[in-house]
Amino acid sequence: MKFIKPYLVVVTTLLAVSCTSQKETTSLKDAYKNDFYIGTALSADQIEVKNAKEDSLIRKEFNAITAENIMKSMYTHPQKDKYDFVMSDKFVAYGEKNKMFIHGHTLIWHSQLAPWMEKIADSTEMKTFMKDHITTIVSKYKGRINSWDVVNEALNEDGTLRQSVFLKTLGEKYLVDAFKLAEKADPKAELYYNDYNIEESAKRAGAIALIKKIKVEGGKVDGVGIQGHWRLNSPSLEEIEKSILEYSALGIKVAFTELDITVLPNPWDLKGAEISQKFEGSEKMNPYPKALPDSIQNKLAERYESIFKLFLKHKDKISRVTFWGVHDGQSWLNDWPIKGRTNYPLPFDATLRHKKAYESILKLKKTKE
């Protein structure tokens, strides 16, 4: 019988423990650390660390954060002469404490406006509002917030400009002005135009024209945010890839800013994220109220795998991939476009367990190593 020295046993055991530990600590942010940021959108409760298990998951898996709601204008600027930075201060502090990339969402958006903003009808008053709003918020977090969605969802599906209160009062110039004001308030922050369905051809053409116009007229645009509210079978990988290439050709970064994949049927094959649209529910529209069947889990995993495979192919062009929510239970898709449904669009389920979709994303990196 061969004698094994005790110290060899100890070393071998330590190596085994080390390997096991390394395997267990694999996370999305670590796996993709040399490719692009892996982000998530945080709710108010998550920012305030109301749930320790959720917080542990967030810190382990993600290295970039976006505020899901609390930085929208109805919350940060509720009255003409009043700002409220209580929650946004906590959000930024959370990101700094955990050494995360911090993204500000959003400065100019037609939706979730404070009521007083919707009533602005005079161009001079609107100019004053925009200057005060953007300058105050961006200056306050100068050097602390890494990037901003300066303008959010300014386009219709056909690529024309949305008839928002900003367009009606100021015309197209509001787009250029917004980016100029943001740059002046924090020259080092990355500035993005963010929208949904801009991987679809008509809307993509409109977004490209919009970004070119802003840049030609002296506005600074560092990147485009493709929201990525997608479905199991659409948009096609070809359209997503074409979008990455065409936006990158403008000399800007490409981010996927609000990624989730609905597994539920949508009325009229609805696409995108127009939050004003609501529909009546039915059993047909809520087919998985208790759990997701394995067959759909597999389809979701395959979809995520194919998408991230494409992202890795173009990692030199992509700055960040952010999921819109930490887990399924938090997802806005449980209530949109039909209230009260149970959706399963993210890599983590409502109990915080990772799904096959999570494994499929990680697998792409493991097979390369």
**Residue 24 designated active-site:** no
DSSP structure string for 299-315: HHHHHHHHHHHHHHHTT
Neighbours of 286 (CB within 10 A): 16
Q: What are phi and psi of 103, to 5 degrees?
A: -115, 130
The active-site residue, picked from 153, 183, 190, 199, is: 153
**Contact between residue 264 and residue 336 where contact means Cβ atoms under 8 Å apart:** no
Report d(CA 342, CA 286) in Å as an integer: 7
Output the six-digit token pair for 258.
């609000």
**Residue 258 designated active-site:** yes
Strands (E), 155-222: 190-195
The active-site residue, picked from 61, 183, 190, 258, is: 258
Report d(CA 324, CA 40) in Å as an integer: 6
Whose structure tokens read 């911090």?
A: 102
**What contacts 24+ positions apart, CB below 8 Å, involve 132-136?**
133/73, 133/77, 133/107, 133/108, 134/107, 134/108, 134/178, 134/181, 134/182, 134/185, 135/181, 135/184, 135/185, 136/83
Whose structure tokens read 């049927």?
A: 265
Annotated active-site positions, please? 153, 258
